[in-house]
A = this chain, B = another copy of it.
Amino acid sequence: MSDDKNIVEIGLLGCGTIGSGVFHLLEKNSPYIERVAGKKLRVRRILVKEVDEPRPFEADRSIMTTDWREVISDDQIEIFVELIGGIEPAKSFALEILGKGKHLVTANKEILARYGPELMKVAAESGSQLLFEAAVGGGIPLIRPLEESLGGDKIRKIVGIVNGTTNYILSRMSMEGSTFDEALESAKRLGYAEANPEADIQGDDAASKIAILSSIAFRVGVTSDQVPREGISRIRLDDIENAKELGYAIKLLAIASFDDGEIQARVHPTMIPLEHPLSSISGNFNAIFVVGESVGELMFYGQGAGSLPTSTAIIGDLINIARDMDRSKTIDRSYWNNPAKIKSINEVKTRFYMVLRVVDRPGVLAKIAGVFGENMVSLESVVQKGIGEEAQIVLITHEVKERNFWAAKQGLARLEVVLDIPSIIRVESL
């Protein structure tokens, strides 16, 4: 602890896009933050990979070090901010910090989504605070409202657009008629997609985020390996056009629900009605739709990434810890160690959009309908498009169990008249 009781010493682990933003805001808004927190927040040490790296904002190089021990072992530091990302060494650092009774603010969704129960346990045992508003939805206040403002309500469902990169790509395909590859290139040029965007595109990032949100909202431990996921790389421009004609938008959604003690969480591209508030969330914005038993429908919307928005969330957490520093109690997250009872995705009921390229011949539709019938899948709409070699069938099923739909799909793939099944997308009314 600092000699001056009015100063809270902070250690930054990582100083890239977000870390340098945090340093910048702490300096720039210093008198303002001091007034709100009741204390001065001062960065004492910064762990970096290289002191001379380029950064979006300048940070004080005289307090930088490339030796993690110099930061982690500095006993004067009371709150650490972990912005390294990834599993190791972030996880070991986090456990060491929490184990020593120091407080930790992190934006690291991977360690929370994979090792949340372990981290919460160590924090509880040593009376440390572990806050992570920035891990989901960037600057959007989400974790605290779910945990505190809605603490007396039972959350039933969360449906979120929680990945800005994929939402930008889908918006651009929808609005400009770009192909997936063109939209991805544009996202990279604008800095919305990383050089290696696989974790975003494949839905892994969204899966980590919905695991964290589910844990908080349903008060039980959900880990990312319990979240089945499907990415957006197979979405074709044709699907987006078809969806529009049918009155839908295609969004990569993270969906979690709590029913009869069972949790179901998943990430996949979804067709949602154009009238639903989530369908108009465009570009790299995030929006999280929450349904509570008493509060009804809520939606939180904002910048889900970016240096300053994310830094704002981290500073909000820092202020909260600083304000509460003389308090012995921490938020009780022991529930995170109660493993969730997960409902298998096979048992989930949803509707499906499907496109089949078919041989243009009388009787084809009857054969296809037959396979669906055998598998107890009934159809809501069927349209034949194109003729000859272009012939395809675009259909939407009624609500069916995933298990039955996939059985039908296997049967269809075996039909001689079905040349190819280029698209399958889930359809939700929400």
**Which residues of A are interface residues toward B (Cβ below 8 A)?**
25, 29, 32-33, 35-38, 133, 139-141, 144-145, 148-154, 219, 277, 280, 285, 292, 294-303, 306, 308-309, 311-313, 315-316, 318-320, 323, 326-327, 329, 332
Least CB distance from A141 to B in Å reads 3
A346–B58 Cα distance when bound, in Å, is 42
Q: 20 more A-B contacts (CB under 8 A) besides A32-B154, A36-B152?
A: A25-B152, A29-B152, A29-B154, A33-B152, A36-B151, A141-B141, A141-B145, A152-B319, A153-B312, A153-B316, A292-B312, A295-B303, A295-B309, A295-B312, A296-B302, A296-B303, A296-B306, A298-B303, A299-B300, A299-B302
Tell me, in angstroms, the Cα distance from A276 to B300 when the chains sit together.
15
- The answer to whether A149 and B301 have CB atoms under 8 Å apart is no
Select one of B153, B299, B311 contacting A299, CB under 8 A: B299
Contacts of A297 in B (CB 8 A): 285, 301-303
CA distance A299 to B303 in the complex (A): 10
The contact sample of 6 A-B pairs, CB cut-off 8 A, is A35-B219, A139-B292, A139-B295, A151-B319, A296-B303, A327-B329
Contacts of A295 in B (CB 8 A): 139, 302-303, 308-309, 312-313
Across the interface, A149 reaches (CB within 8 A) one of B292, B316, B323, B326, namely: B316
Known: A37-B151, A149-B133, A152-B318. A294 touches B308 (CB 8 A): yes
